[in-house]
Amino acid sequence: MTQKRRILLIDDDQICSWLNKLLLEEMQVAKQIICCTSGEEALHYLRKASAEGEPPSLPDLIFLDLNLPDLNGFELLEEATNLSGCERIASERTILLTSSMHLPDLRRANEKKVLGYLVKPLTRTKVQEVLKSITLHAQPPLAAAPDRLPAANPKSRGRDAAAPTPSHLAPPH
């Protein structure tokens, strides 16, 4: 597994964010893990990174909570796609990591064509599946992203079971 340069965690639950960061650090999946606790803070970070004009300044992967206090996850994605270099950030870099299994959220995630949709908590298995999917469909930065993220084994139970998956996120048949 190739180590990523930068992962951005966006979650207003600081304990959840700390645990996710700890997991990712233990797994050594990225050289740098950045945590933002609000949509506005994340948008500020992305504005600054995109203004630098270099794709390497942007995160390779984003784990984004939907329920944020200022901009929700979908609003953040909408704003971010207007930034230079971030036009395809949803489909190429963003995994929605949320406690929501509401059908309207799943539909909206499908419309945004996010890279993936995971239900909290983030686990070692979920991270490995995400990284495996990205590695299998590896493209140069900001190139066409894979349309599908394999769901966790539907026979699995407990913490690593996947949420119902929007059609474009479901594994190919």
- Of residues 25 and 150, the one with the higher pLDDT is 25
- Please tell me the pTM assigned to this model: 0.78
- How far from 47 is each of 40, 79, 100, CA to CA, in Å? 10, 10, 27
Domain at 40, CATH number:
3.40.50.2300
| Mean pLDDT across the chain | 81
Q: State the Cα torsion 153-151-118-108 to the nearest 10°.
A: -140
Instruction: Determine the structural domain holding residue 74 and report its residue range.
Output: 4-169
pLDDT tens-digit series, residues 53-103:
666 689 999 999 999 999 999 999 999 999 988 999 999 999 999 998 889
What are the residue ranges of helices labelled H in the chain? 14-27, 39-51, 73-80, 89-93, 103-112, 124-136
Q: What pLDDT is stored for residue 147 in this prediction?
A: 41
Hey, which residues does 170 pair with through a beta bridge?
none
Q: How far apart are CA 27 and CA 95, in angstroms?
A: 18
Structural domain count of the chain = 1
Hey, which residues does 37 pair with through a beta bridge?
none
Q: How far apart are CA 148 and CA 65, in angstroms?
A: 20
Q: What share of the chain is helix, strand, coil (3-state, %, to 5)?
A: 40, 15, 45
pLDDT tens-digit series, residues 24-51:
999 999 999 999 999 999 999 999 998 8
